Amino acid sequence: MDVDGIVEKVRNFPGITRKRPIEEVVGYLPTADFEDVLASAGEDAAVIRHGDECLLFAADGIMESLMKTNPFYAGYFSVLVNVNDIAAMGGRPLAMVDIVSIKDNRICIQVLKGMETAVRKFNVPVVGGHTHPDCAYNAVDVSIIGTAPCDEVIFSHTAQEGDDVVFAMDLNGFYPPDLPLAWDSTSDKSPAYVQEQVALMRRIGAERLASAAKDMSNPGCLGTLGMLLETSGKGARVDLAKIPVPDGVDFSQWLVSYQGCGFAITCPPGSSQRLIGLFAEVGMEAAVVGSVRKGRLYTIHHGSEERTLFDFSKDKITGCIRKG
C-alpha cells in the first residue's frame, strides 16, 4: 500500500481543502454571548437548549458540480446530508426548509423529484422555504431541525484521549454513473431499512456509548475523522488495514468517498464491541480502526509504515477548535 500517496491524496482532496474558509466565515458570527447556544461551529448541527430538550439546527448547500452532473442526486443528497447531520448528533430529524434557485426548469424538476424521493425514503418533510424562479444559476440549499435530550447529544468536540476510533459504514451500495466519489447505500433500500440506520445513533446517544461522532461526508472517512479530532483538540493513530471496504472498490477511492450512511465515532474501549454489534443489526460494518491520542498529531499506518496525515498544531481543515 502506498501510504505516502494516500497522505497526498487526502490532504489535497477538494472535499477537505474547500473546508478551509469556514474559520473565516464563523469569525464574523459570534455565538459565545448566547447562553442557550451549547455548540455551534465544528459540529454537524448547532445545539440550542430549549427547555429539557435541545434543538439541533443544520444546513447544507449542494455543490455546483453535482447540480450539473446529476440534478436528481443533487436533490436526493440535499435531504440525505441533512438527515445524516442530525443523526450523527444522536437526534431525531423533524423537518426541513429549502431554497431552490432556478435557471432551467428541466433541471429544477429533476432536483425536486430527487428531494421528493428522499423525503419519502427518510420520512422527514420539507415544510417550506423560498424559491428564486429567475436566477442565472441552478442551486438547492436545505436546512433541517431536529431534537434530542440535552444529555444524550453526541458532539464532535468531545473525543477523549484513549478512546477507540470506530468507523461504521454500509458496504452494500454502489457508485452512480458519473459520481465516482458518492457511495449510494440508501436509494435502493426500503424506507424502513434506512430509517432504522438513522435511528440507531439516537440509541447510541441514549446509552451514552460514544464520546464523539460525525457523519462521513464529502471529506471522506479519514477527512471526517480529521475534522472531529481538530475540533476536539486531539490526535489519533489509524490503521489503514482495519478500515472496512467493499469488495472490488479501489481503496484510495473509498477513503475519499462520501458515505450514504457512515459514521466516524470515538468511544471508550469498553463500548466498542457494543457499538459494532449495534451497527451489524442495521446492516452496517463497523470496526475499531485506531485510537485517540494526546497531542495534535493525526497519523495513519499500514504495517510498520507510518505517516503524519495532519499535524493540527499547524494544519487546518476547518480551523474550528472548541474553546474551554
Tens digit of each residue's pLDDT, the chain (324 residues): 899 999 999 999 999 999 988 888 888 888 888 889 998 888 999 999 998 899 999 999 999 999 999 999 999 999 999 999 999 999 999 999 999 999 999 999 999 999 999 999 999 999 999 999 999 999 999 999 999 999 999 999 999 999 999 999 999 999 999 999 999 999 999 999 999 999 999 999 999 999 999 999 999 999 999 999 999 999 999 999 999 999 999 999 999 999 999 999 999 999 999 999 999 999 999 999 999 999 999 999 999 999 999 999 999 999 888 754
Q: Where are the domains of the chain?
A: 3-16+154-311, 32-151
Residue type, 213: A
**DSSP track, 160-229:** -TTPEEEEEE--S-BPPTT-TTEEB-STTS-HHHHHHHHHHHHHHHHTT--SEEEE--TTHHHHHHHHHH
Instruction: Give the closest residue to 74 by CA, choosing from 197, 221, 223, 182.
Output: 182
Exposure on the CB side of residue 107, measured as CA atoms within 13 A: 20
**Which residues, 6 or more positions from 163, have their beta carbon under 8 angstroms from its beta carbon?**
211, 212, 266, 267, 268, 269, 291, 292
CB 192 within 8 A of CB 126: no
Residue type, 120: R
Residue 324: per-residue pLDDT: 46
Domain 3-16+154-311's class?
alpha beta
**Which residues, 6 or more positions from 238, have their beta carbon under 8 angstroms from its beta carbon?**
165, 222, 225, 289, 290, 298, 299, 300, 301, 309
Equal fold, 3-16+154-311 vs 32-151: no
> What is the Cα–Cα distance from 307 to 133, expressed in whole angstroms?
50
Residue 31: per-residue pLDDT: 82
> What is the Cα–Cα distance from 286 to 193, expressed in whole angstroms?
17
Select the CATH number that applies to the domain covering 32-151 from these four: 3.40.50.1820, 3.10.129.10, 3.30.450.20, 3.30.1330.10: 3.30.1330.10
Region class of 301: left (phi > 0), else alpha (psi between -120 and 50), else beta: beta
Global confidence as pTM: 0.95
